[in-house]
Structure 1
Amino acid sequence: MYSCEEGFATGGRDGCIRLWDVDFKPITKIDLREAEQGYKGLSIRSVCWRADRILAGTQDSEIFEVMVRDRDKPLLIMQGHSEGELWALDVHPKKPLAVTGSDDRSVRLWSLVDHALIARCNMEEAVRSVAFSVDGSQLALGMKDGSFTVLRVRDMTEVVHIKDRKEVIHEMKFSPDGAYLAVGSNDGLVDIYAVAQRYKKVGECSQSSSFITHLDWTLDSKILQTNDGAGDRFFYRMPRESLGS
């Protein structure tokens, strides 16, 4: 609730802003769920009212601006992740775009030019790592439950969903030639998947005794370097012959 000279403004879990006069008699109701940028489940956590302008903050880290005289057209001025921590970040290889994923189980595509949200996709699990493919057409997401999902960037639809591990996937990286996806988990293992074979598993890097902290490829995509929580570094040669099987 917010008080000012005009009266009081309140917001709640129903997604509605309500204005009251100084005697707490209702003036009007504004339902943000019905707005162009609204959605089912929108919940208001804070409001501010001054003159004919209202600001509303939501549970999902959004800020709406509403002009009382034009209350049917709320303006969404900020968006962000909400619940938990933001772990995942990658930049598009060819376009001014960035992708983020967090514990709120959403992956979001952002314009670095307009500083605006372009697309959002809700997942079943918390997202802990993200990686664009070399051409930027696909996006791999590492999940807290040990699975990973690959999405098409153009429409954020699923290509594959694979679960070979039980622990969180904190590190993922496509090879420079686009042939492989390396997936590192807290199991201490790095699995190698052939992109052209619909992400068929073609290799496993298993020398680490602790969780995987970082992956890096040589420019020719023949060698993968890994770092782990024990401070060890290992080098693995990729199974080139597997691509023809």
Structure 2
Amino acid sequence: MIWPRLQQLALAPVLGVQALQVVRRTPRLPEAAGPREGVAGQGPELRLLVLGDSSAAGVGVATQQAALSGHLVRAIAVEHRVSWHLIARTGWTTGRLHQVLGQTAPRPFDIAVTALGVNDTTRLIGPARWRAQTAAVHDLLRAVFKVRRIYATTVPPLEYFRALPRPLNGVLGHHAARLRSTLEEMAAATEDLRLIAPDWGLDPALMAADGFHPGPEIYRGWGAFAGQVILDDLRAMPL
């Protein structure tokens, strides 16, 4: 991994200028409006916690019904009575989420779905540090929130975010791939950790107006895919 670090150092002046330009030019979209908890569906009780960064918060769509949580809950509610809760904010890194969870009043959940890694990528947090922070979040979910199964969404390919110019998109895309591989290794070695790995596609026409967040169709596909993975698991291995 020496070459990527040397590349980052060599490109540092250009990357710094581009990063500032992205911050200045990219419109700041609001988080999706609407309730962040509720109950839906009929069947066996399932307590669902959704948590993460701006994508979990639904930036890019108007309401939570059109965001990840809305599509995910509807998919699972076909077979379960889902009591759900969302903890997410724009800008949160994995480390920041861990801090917030440590200050959150505990309540039990059966499963948790996470959407993290983009802000860790843009801050170039290294794989070893990210692994430790991710493991700390998962340990807290198990110990304090009694989560029995964790579904972690893979880090999307930032090289396709149209808000990011070259060479910044290539550097961040490569770093995202390193974090994605780290999460895959963790899932392979952890019995109660599953991956949510959608076929992101990230067609520029389907992304939000800022070129950085999912648009309605991406959220729809992501939520439906995650819901199907969870339902298949629950049928094969009930909690």
What TM-score does the superposition give when structure 1 sets the normalisation length? Answer: 0.24
In proportion to residue count, which structure has more strand? 1
- Which gives a bigger RCO, structure 1 or 2 (Cα 8 Å, sep 6+)? 2
Scaled by the length of structure 2, the TM-score of the pair is 0.25
- Larger proportion of helix: 2
